[in-house]
Amino acid sequence: MMTAKKNNTMKKQSKTEMTYDISPAHSARFRRLCEEAMLEGRSNGDAGIGTLAEKRMHSIIKRYLCANADFHEVGVLNTRYVSDVRIGNEVYEVQTGAFYPMQKKIAYYLEHTDCTVTVVHPIAVNKWVCWVDPVTREISERKKSPKHESEKDLLPELYCLIPYLTNPRLKFRLLLLEVQDFRMLNGRSRDRKRGSTRYERIPLELLGEVNFTSPEDFRRFLPSELPPHFTVKEFARLTQFHGRDAYSAVRVLAAMGLLFPADPIGRAMAFSF
């Protein structure tokens, strides 16, 4: 059983993880892009959310990666694949949701081109929520959400890319953001919030960036308290992953050569490092 002292340590570490550094110039540029995107929506006569042909999050990140729109939405050879941003042999794919839909696309880039591929993924470390009435279209005042995402949430998403994780041309870039979520009041609970649909997520502030250029960079996700020989359940307890995500995360780290299958502990699957 984890002691109270260790619990307090985990909480302190969790808070520390939420502190990131970024240059004022990068932060200011990203904030300006967010403001411009909102103004574009309003100039078209809409309410400022959910009405652009391309969701604002995706559009803002593309502009942040490259200001020149000539490098956006560039076709790849004679295929149906279109890269979000391509500058010479550098391809950037902005993935705001789950990674599985991009599996075949990433595989094609790595197997049939000589491009370096960087998957850019936003992480909502701070979040505000506004509720949208689906009938009246009224929008509530925003409130700070107690829920937040973390860098480690990247690990389970990488499960679908396991065959390619050691490819030196595949890289990952996390943008750590403060965001505002607009959610529809269409849930199944009495207040219509539980099970509701997210209408749009709009970035407000860039708080930091984390780059993963090799498997070794993922070693940061191995808890210092992890014993040399451990079960997935122990890993889940220390990392606060739940259910299938814990198994996916361990498999990803093993595919990168950071963990190794070990003799079972009792009947439980075990790993070592």
**Which residues 6+ apart lie within 8 Å of 248 measured at CB?**
155, 156, 159
Q: Give the Cα separation of 109 and 170 in Å (integer).
A: 9
pLDDT at 103 over 90: yes
Q: What is the DSSP string of 62-94?
A: HHHH-S-GGGEEEE-TTSS-EEEEEETTEEEEE
Average pLDDT, the chain: 86
C-alpha 37 chain-centroid distance: 21
Whether residue 194 is predicted with pLDDT greater than 50 in this model: the reply is: yes
| Cα torsion angle, 155, 156, 157, 159, sign | positive
d(CA 268, CA 273): 17
Which range of 162-166, 189-193, 261-265 scores highest in mean pLDDT? It is: 162-166
Give the DSSP letter of residue 164.
Answer: G
Identity (one letter) of the amino acid at 222?
Answer: L
Provide the pLDDT for residue 6. Answer: 38
Tell whether the model's pLDDT for residue 55 goes beyond 70: yes
Give tens-digit pLDDT for 233-259: 999 999 999 989 999 999 999 999 999
Task: Give the pLDDT confidence of 204-226 residue by residue, as tens digits.
Answer: 999 999 999 999 999 999 999 99
- Give 7's pLDDT tier (boundaries 50, 70, 90): very low
pLDDT at 12: 38
For residue 196, what are the contacts with CB-CB under 8 A and spacing of at least 6?
Answer: 183, 184, 185, 186, 187
Instruction: Please state which of the ranges 68-82, 161-175, 243-257 shows the lowest mean pLDDT.
Output: 68-82
Lowest mean pLDDT, pick from 17-31, 87-101, 146-160: 17-31
Which domains does the chain possess?
19-213 (no CATH), 216-273 (1.10.10)
Look at residue 132 and tell me whether its pLDDT is greater than 60. yes
pLDDT of residue 20: 61
Mean pLDDT value across residues 126-130: 94
pTM of the model: 0.85
Provide the pLDDT confidence category of residue 41 given band limits of 50, 70 and 90: low
CA 135-204-16 angle, 5° bins: 120
Residue 1's pLDDT is 35
Q: How far apart are CA 26 and CA 67, in angstroms?
A: 13
Task: State the pLDDT at residue 54.
Answer: 60
